[in-house]
Amino acid sequence: MRETKLEIACFNLESALIAQENGADRVELCANRNDGGTTPNFETIQEARTALSIPLMVMIRPRAGDFVYSDTEFHQMKTDLIEFKKLKVDGFVFGILNKDASINHEQNTELLALAHPLPCTFHRAFDEVNTKEEALEVLIRCGFKTILTSGLEQNAVDGLQALSELIQKANNRIIIMPGGGIRAENIKLLSSNTKASFYHSSAIIDEGEIADKEEIKALKANLKMASKSP
């Protein structure tokens, strides 16, 4: 049986606790669901670190919108990362692009160095790149451990083919983590076709910002069933 894990994107402490209590393997903590996730505040991270025993990844994204940042914004990202690292979180999630939609090697590498030895995920800024194969190689060279992506589509189901190709090209050098519209009803399809080892979902089934416990249980159960297939 393939080992598969589930990361839940949580926009508040309540969701993080629900995720842990219902079988999530890891939490990605961020703020502002409607903005696609931004940097959470210090107090929320502090509370989550105290309350959680499962790994806690923290989003570093100073604002909504594109992934090209000013010097002031980049300084804020570095400051936040340094402060959050003191809270003993388990890793960080961020992504910086150049104006031409290529990977900003210099700035990403600088953040990775500040985060060391904690693992870092390059988030769905990846879905904005022009050439996924080139971006994949750059991120491996930078030192990221995981790429969160929908396969450059609006959701992971639409990007299924690209996700499969990325996982094959990554060849265990980096984790390709499907994310974007993943729910209990489609995670078996994604797992059976991509053979990914990690999956990402908010497990939110309404317009709010609270993860649904039954959805998390169903995501885990369906993922376990799919992982039994050859």
Query: φ, ψ for residue 59 (rounded to 5)?
Result: -75, 135
- Average pLDDT along the chain: 96
Note the pLDDT tens digit of each residue in 74-89.
999 999 999 999 999 9
Q: How confident is the model at residue 145 (pLDDT cuts 50, 70, 90)?
A: very high
Other CB atoms within a 10 A radius of the CB of residue 221 amount to 14
At residue 141, φ and ψ (nearest 5 deg) are: -65, -35
Residue 1 has pLDDT above 70, yes or no: no
Q: How many whole angstroms separate alpha carbon 46 and alpha carbon 58?
A: 11
147-183 per-position pLDDT tens digit: 999 999 999 999 999 999 999 999 999 999 999 999 9
Give the CATH number of domain 5-227. 3.20.20.380
Would you state the structure tokens that stand for residue 178, as one six-digit string? 């499907």
pLDDT of residue 2: 78
Is 131's pLDDT higher than 70?
A: yes
**What is the mean pLDDT of the segment spanning 1-19?**
94
Provide the pLDDT confidence category of residue 228 given band limits of 50, 70 and 90.
Answer: confident
What percentage of the chain has pLDDT greater than the value 70?
A: 99
Q: Where are the domains of the chain?
A: 5-227
What distance, in Å, lies between the first and last C-alpha atoms of the chain?
7
- Count CB neighbours of 123 within 10 A: 28
Q: In terms of Cα–Cα distance, which of 30, 44, 40, 120 is closest to 80?
A: 40
- CA-based nearest residue to 216, from 9, 72, 33, 44: 9
pLDDT reported for residue 230: 65
Q: Tell me how far CA of residue 117 lies from CA of 85, 123, 146, in angstroms.
A: 10, 19, 14
Residue 201 buriedness (CB in 10 A; 0-12 / 13-18 / 19+)? buried
d(CA 27, CA 141): 25
